[in-house]
Amino acid sequence: MNKIFKAHVDETGERIQTIKEHSENTAYLCAQFAVPELKEIVYMAGLLHDIGKYQESFQKKIDGANIRVEHSICGALAVRSQASDALSLLIEYCIAGHHSGIPDGGDMSNTPDMSTLWGRLMRTTEDYSCYKQELSIPDIDRQRFYCFLMRDCNQNIDLIVDKFAFLTRYCFSCLVDADSVDTAKFCSQTKIETLETDFKRCLKKVDAKLQSFKCKTDLQRSRAYLQKRVFEKVDRDSEVYLMNMPTGSGKTLCSVKFALERAVRTNKKHIIYVIPYNGIIDQTVEVFEEIFGADAKILRHQSTFSYDSKEYSEDYRRYMKSAAENWDAQFIITTAVQFFESVYANRRGKLRKLHNIADSILIFDEAHVMPVEYLQPCLRAIAYAARYLNSEAVFLTATMPDFSGLMRKYALPDSRIMDLIENSSLFDEFKKCRFQYLQEVSEEELLLKAEEFPSSLFIVNKRAAAKRLFQICSGRKYHLSTYMTPCDRQRVLREIRCELRQLELEYPDGRKIPEERRIIIISTSLIEAGIDLDVHTVFRELAGLDNILQAGGRCNREGKRKKADVYVFELKDDTRKASMDERCNLVRGLIRQYVDISCEECIKEYYNRLFQLKQEMIQKNSISWDCKDIRSIPFREYAEKFELINSNTFSVVVPQDEKSRHLVETLKYTGAGVERELQPYACTVYRWELEDLIRQNAVDDFDTGMYCLINLDYYDKETGISFEAKDYWID
């Protein structure tokens, strides 16, 4: 009787999945997931990834023996025994890391105790050669892979290393997702359905929405004309599309119609919206769900959103949570952090989703806020997805840098890029405010000037300044910063919108408004991009030009007033630090040079100067900066350093209602499992601020690494977390 080699055994111990069955299933799924040029490669990776389970010790382990057996290196060793070349190396990285993550390559001096690929492949294993009797390993067209790898690289080692690393992560994604899907299917015996969206029906609905708008004013006619210019190019193929549209021109609906048109015409599998801020996601999802209804099952993947709410059915929660792991959905909305940190991860948990950015329309909303220090890896990821994974990218912003030049300089020199709005002559119709420079002013002078206007929005660079301004101003005032939890920020935004609407109803001409009815909003930059607010006047502390122009998008947003102003200022007690900021220095010079800093020439000059200043920073954060050998790529080290958000900040959970208090108790006694559900209750502090709270015994992490506020005297629902407890009078 032939020996049965087991890969998995269910909880009852009665059902068995053989290694042969699991390997062939995984190989088949790998090939299903991959683009044509890589199907053979990932098929082999899937077939060989678990051959280490043919070791006798692993079979004992699966039968209950309490022993540790390393099985993942066996498949890598088998591949290396066949050939020692770039193709074999790619598969070795994938198989060796399919549990613990793609390892650093290392070098020949490494020893078996080291976790690098070189080190791990020096370790000894038991005999696993029985796989040869059960698995038939096909030949691979190696020359086809070499041509694919070297295409567009021009013998440039930096390009070769970056592209090889990208393709390795992509193949790894196919492998680990196929492995996970087949294992889950065996263990649970249930099939998780893809979250489907009917692109054609959604397109009809967005068309109907756009056609419902009336064109009575010059601005409305200009908006319709700009959108028409975009739609006229929907049948023209490109890798990257630039959708430069001013604030108020209907970018969101225009972009989703364009994406749906392209998806239908080119038979794309996914539409993926990549949005920089959680607040914009909430707003965008609300718009899309209202239009599409049941025709779009939108997957939201963001840190501040959880599908564990009881408002969703159990089946829906299961589907959504499963889809969030591998993006097995047709319409996805996620953050830039999730997207790019997934592309450059090394662990299976994050990389599982990477293969599903293939055959997609990728929309990068507010594309100008891609962090300069990671601009090259971000642009290369987009260029590679478009060129090698059959995707298309749309860059959407009101303040467009020269992405054509940047893509060709830092990504692929011959990237095919199409400007959807070539004529910007109509942009002047959307200029609903003037930008004026106040130079240095005190906080008191700023607040005094705000008394001239029915509603004012102050945007400052620091949370402490926002809090201080809020405390000294009077009237109907509101405060927004990341010292507050997302729950409270959303509540305050709802209150502001309601109050602004009521003010307009009561005083439509904006005149003779009582002092107590004037509205003042104090915020940090979180309110700038995409948040739908319309105030009479904006005061913006000196910052980058993109920040200032985005702030202007909250001023006279609907164009109802003939005259509106955005005042750019510097606080008298903060000029020394502002003068050290390169972006601020650039803007000071541009203010002196241009009468209108929102003009196209000024924006172009700002970005050209900025990227020239940051040229070395842009390049040095690519994986090829310090690595010139594909055998030594530091996958793990690079992934750990790749952070779009400053890791010097920490979340502090504030239990504010019955649900959050229950979640904190669950965290306290179980130690895990509720982190994502707690994100809507988490505010952000710097390391030194967290240490201050720890010294005051105001927070506790219950040995989980997730800090919770245990003394609610340190939190105010209007201003957020505090670093001093409230004072009490004892009578």
Domains and CATH numbers, the chain: 6-188 (1.10.3210), 199-426 (3.40.50.300), 432-597 (3.40.50.300), 649-721 (no CATH)
Percent of the chain with pLDDT over 70: 94
pLDDT digits (tens, 9 = 90+) for 350-382: 999 999 999 999 999 999 989 889 999 999 999
Q: For the residues 245-251, what does the mean pLDDT come to?
A: 84
pLDDT at 53: 94
What's residue 371's pLDDT?
87
Mean pLDDT is lowest, of 160-169, 200-209, 574-583, 704-713, for 574-583
Q: What are the CA-CA distances from residue 277 to residues 257, 267, 282, 304, 320 (Å)?
A: 22, 29, 9, 10, 21
Residue 334 in this model has a pLDDT that exceeds 70: yes
How large a percentage of the chain has pLDDT more than 90?
Answer: 64
Q: Across residues 473-501, what is the average pLDDT?
A: 92
Give the pLDDT confidence of 294-324 residue by residue, as tens digits. Answer: 999 998 887 666 565 555 556 666 667 777 7
DSSP three-state, residue 120? helix
- Confidence label for 702 from pLDDT (cuts 50, 70 and 90): confident
- Per-residue pLDDT averaged across 514-525, rounded? 91
Over the stretch 635-666, which tens digit does the pLDDT of each residue have?
999 999 998 876 678 889 999 999 899 989 88
Q: What mean pLDDT value characterizes the chain?
A: 89
Q: What is the pLDDT of residue 581?
A: 79
User: How many C-beta atoms lie closer than 10 Å to residue 180's C-beta?
Assistant: 19
Per-residue pLDDT, 680 = 87
The residue that leads in pLDDT, 198 or 555, is: 198
Distance CA 717, CA 437 (A): 33
pLDDT per residue over 318-328, tens digit each?
667 777 788 99
One-letter amino acid identity for 483? Y
Give yes or no for residue 254 having a pLDDT over 90: yes
Flag the least confident range among 21-30, 272-281, 445-454, 484-493: 272-281
Q: How distant is the alpha carbon of residue 204 from its chain centre?
A: 28
How far apart (Å, rounded) are the C-alpha atoms in residues 478 and 457?
A: 9
Alpha-carbon gap, residue 588 to 440, rounded angstroms = 12
Read off the pLDDT of residues 564-607 as tens digits, 9 standing for 90 and up: 899 999 998 765 555 457 899 999 999 999 999 999 899 999 99
The answer to which of 96-100, 426-430, 519-523, 710-714 has the lowest mean pLDDT is 426-430
At residue 164, the pLDDT reads 98
| Cross-strand bridge partners of residue 18 | 6
| Arithmetic mean of pLDDT, 671-694 | 86
The pLDDT of residue 508 is 84
Cα 416 from chain centre: 24
User: In which band, very low, low, confident or very high, does the pLDDT at 1 lie, cut at 50, 70 and 90?
Assistant: very low
pLDDT at 563: 79
Q: Strands, DSSP E only, in 476-536?
A: 476-480, 519-523
CB neighbour list of residue 391: distance below 8 Å, 6 or more residues apart: 268, 357, 358, 359, 360, 361, 362, 385
Examine the pLDDT at 725 and tell me if it is beyond 50. yes
Average pLDDT of the segment spanning 236-265: 93
